[in-house]
Structure 1
Amino acid sequence: MEKPDIPRLQLESFAHFNYKVPLLQVQHYPVNAAYFTIENRDNYPVIDYISPNRRQFYKIFHMTSGTGVLTIGLHQYEMGPGEIAFLHPDEIMSWQTTSQETGGHFCLIHPAYFGHDAAHVAQLFRQYPYFQPSQAVVQLTPEQSTTVNGYFEQMLKEERGPNDDKKQAILLHLQMLLLEAKRAGKQLAQVQVTEQFGHIYGFLSLLESAFQVKTPDDTIKIKTAAEFAGQLNVHPNYLNALVKNHTGKTLREHILDRLLYEAKSLLVQTDWDINTISYGLGFSGHAAFTSFFSKKAQVTPTAFRKNVAAPAHL
């Protein structure tokens, strides 16, 4: 029997949400992404997107111009010039640009980048207070912002350069960047997100948690849209309309896209045979998996594995 407290909101009620529609393109990092990436916003313009957890990357970005709305978990920040954000791999985050252009830098750091020779830096990242959603954005003074921008420029120069010891230099600049932000210590005010946005985050979080294929013996059970809605205590039609309205895709499309992403990740990041991957992802066998993959990716799993380079290790 249907629960009496299940909301049955009309689509018109979504118009009161704080975002333009559709807004959030769900964006996963490439399955063969480098362990360290740094970019200047002049060459890599920001887009409106939402990034699920299990991104496997710390992200730090600093704004020198422009404005935007950053949402991390259930915390929302209105960011502008001279502010720096710290994003933990386990948190769902989204970004909406609210100006014509945004300037600055961002870097992505995979925990494996630190390696055994920089375990102390990995520990620093794990303990750094601003990788918490409620403290994730720091307001810098103009002088501090200039200093931080200089650290990003130096890291970008090193990463693009030929020096054999560039990783050591990058890690030193990263540590100085963290220290400068910690000295600033002025956290930007944040607000709680709306209940509707919380449902979107809740769905993506549950979807990510369903994909935990870490060993050849793991097998996932793909949940239906109704099962995800039940876990969030909302009606499937309501959740589907909400997610479709703000991401442009239905619950089923998100589920299939996430299944494809996991398949690509396993093909690139493991040496498991196709049968092992097929069963791990809940398919009845090699043929069923190949049919699904070929239809979605326009290439067979075997050909995809051969064509995509292994992850880059800097």
Structure 2
Amino acid sequence: MNKIESLHDFYGRLKTQHPDITIPSLETVNNTGHIGVFKRSMYCSAHPSPYNRRDYYKISLILGSGILHYPSQRILVKERALLFTNPNIPYAWEATSETQAGYFCLFTENFIHKRNESLRESLLWRLDGCPIIPITLQQENVFTEIFTKMTAEMEGMYIHKYEMLRNYIQLIVHEALKVQPQDTNFRERNAAVRLTSLFIELLERQFPIGSTDHVLELRTPHDFANQLSVHVNHLNHAVKEVTGRTTSEHILKRITTEALALLSHTEWNVAQIAYCLGFEYPANFNTFFKRQMQCTPKAFRKEGISS
């Protein structure tokens, strides 16, 4: 449950199943993001996919039957459905019918959020407890047409094709919201999953830090628990149950990631970075950074410049 499948892992598995396929370059993922669109028949097999988190979002048009293994749930899918997954929650797919058709697209957070922040509040974040939406045959035709256009766009040379693809993702989300069933029993969400998603979203909202006047307001599990109006023990238990990592581990990892980015991509001095990240004294930041990275901030920055 602690493992996170990366894009490299995904394409490695795809290459194993289809040796002739051309794997796209992933060198620009950190800067511009990444998107891929595929037919499910290329990727689905009789063996269940690994049960873990992914470091990318995924929207699937499932044509076929199977079982979605989700935290504290086994969700049965019959014939056709939409599946929305995000990097916060682990899952696995087990096919139960021979036919596994349809499409899926996967994309990184920076691909979509840098250009369309509204999706952060979209179905991708709100379908925490049950990410499956059953659809009718008529609705299947609507989503098939969108995915077909996305596939053609991926293969085309239009200079603004990635803007088009972002718009298609937005269209899928809106069409899904229109057909989302009103059955409250179906939409009942697992409380731990919902709370974990709220915590992750609240954590991510604080980043990136854009100026030396921007100081982190939420730095401890108690800070987040107070913001979410829950007891800190309840928050810690939910986050550990769903992700396999403690609330503190998530916070420390995200602060470390931001520290690395600020040291690498700004000219702010270490004291300024320490202040923005909520450390009262630079010495405390140095101790924290050395514990996480086994070197001081100055040594990391110097090594980055020299390399």
Correspondence for 2:254: 258
Change (3 A) 1:25 1:48: same
Correspondence for 2:21: none
Correspondence for 2:23: none
Q: Aligned equivalents of 1:143 and 1:222: distance in 2? A: 46
Change (3 A) 1:64 1:230: same
Using the TM superposition, give the Cα deviation of residue 280 of structure 1 relative to its aligned residue in structure 2, in angstroms. 0.9
Correspondence for 2:292: 296
Q: Aligned equivalents of 2:239 and 2:260: distance in 1? A: 24
Using the TM superposition, give the Cα deviation of residue 283 of structure 1 relative to its aligned residue in structure 2, in angstroms. 3.1
Change (3 A) 1:26 1:304: farther
SS of equivalent residue, structure 2 residue 105: strand
Using the TM superposition, give the Cα deviation of residue 258 of structure 1 relative to its aligned residue in structure 2, in angstroms. 2.0
SS of equivalent residue, structure 2 residue 91: strand
Number of residue-to-residue matches in the alignment? 262
2:221 equivalent to 1:225: yes
Change (3 A) 1:258 1:154: same
The one-letter code matched in structure 1 to 2:52 is: D
SS of equivalent residue, structure 2 residue 32: coil
The one-letter code matched in structure 2 to 1:273 is: W
Change (3 A) 1:261 1:228: same
Correspondence for 1:17: none
Using the TM superposition, give the Cα deviation of residue 220 of structure 1 relative to its aligned residue in structure 2, in angstroms. 1.6
Change (3 A) 1:192 1:77: farther
Correspondence for 2:126: 133
Using the TM superposition, give the Cα deviation of residue 255 of structure 1 relative to its aligned residue in structure 2, in angstroms. 2.0
SS of equivalent residue, structure 1 residue 252: helix
Correspondence for 2:231: 234
CA contact 1:77–1:137 (8 Å) conserved in 2: no
CA contact 2:3–2:53 (8 Å) conserved in 1: yes
Using the TM superposition, give the Cα deviation of residue 281 of structure 1 relative to its aligned residue in structure 2, in angstroms. 0.8
The one-letter code matched in structure 2 to 1:164 is: I
Report the aligned-residue RMSD. 5.1
Q: Aligned equivalents of 1:286 and 1:167: distance in 2? A: 42
SS of equivalent residue, structure 1 residue 191: coil
Using the size of structure 1 for normalisation, the TM-score is: 0.56
Q: Percent identity?
A: 21
Q: 1:1-314 alignment to 2 at 5 Å?
A: 23=1, 32=30, 34-35=32-33, 37-40=35-38, 42=42, 48-49=52-53, 60-65=59-64, 66-68=66-68, 78=75, 80=77, 82-85=80-83, 94-99=89-94, 104-108=103-107, 109-113=111-115, 133=126, 138-142=133-137, 144-145=139-140, 148-149=143-144, 151-159=146-154, 161-167=156-162, 170=165, 177=172, 185=179, 187=181, 189=183, 190-208=186-204, 213-221=209-217, 223-229=219-225, 232-234=229-231, 236=233, 239-266=235-262, 271-275=266-270, 276-284=272-280, 289=285, 292-293=288-289, 295-297=291-293, 301-302=300-301
Q: Aligned equivalents of 2:267 and 2:67: distance in 1? A: 45
Change (3 A) 1:68 1:291: same
CA contact 2:208–2:258 (8 Å) conserved in 1: no
SS of equivalent residue, structure 1 residue 32: helix
Q: Aligned equivalents of 1:204 and 1:180: distance in 2? A: 26
Q: Aligned equivalents of 1:196 and 1:127: distance in 2? A: 19
Q: Aligned equivalents of 2:171 and 2:195: distance in 1? A: 38
CA contact 2:37–2:150 (8 Å) conserved in 1: no
CA contact 2:125–2:197 (8 Å) conserved in 1: no
Q: Aligned equivalents of 2:120 and 2:242: distance in 1? A: 32
What are structure 2's unaligned runs of at least 5 residues? Answer: 8-27
Using the TM superposition, give the Cα deviation of residue 260 of structure 1 relative to its aligned residue in structure 2, in angstroms. 1.5
Using the TM superposition, give the Cα deviation of residue 298 of structure 1 relative to its aligned residue in structure 2, in angstroms. 5.7
Q: Aligned equivalents of 1:62 and 1:137: distance in 2? A: 10
Using the TM superposition, give the Cα deviation of residue 170 of structure 1 relative to its aligned residue in structure 2, in angstroms. 3.7
Q: Aligned equivalents of 2:167 and 2:29: distance in 1? A: 27
Q: Aligned equivalents of 2:306 and 2:69: distance in 1? A: 37
Using the TM superposition, give the Cα deviation of residue 256 of structure 1 relative to its aligned residue in structure 2, in angstroms. 0.9
What are structure 1's unaligned runs of at least 5 residues? Answer: 1-22, 52-56, 115-121, 309-314
Larger RCO (CA under 8 A, 6+ residues apart): 1
Per-residue CA shift, 1:69-109, capped at 9, x if unaligned? Answer: 679xxxx994735322568xxx9963522525987312435
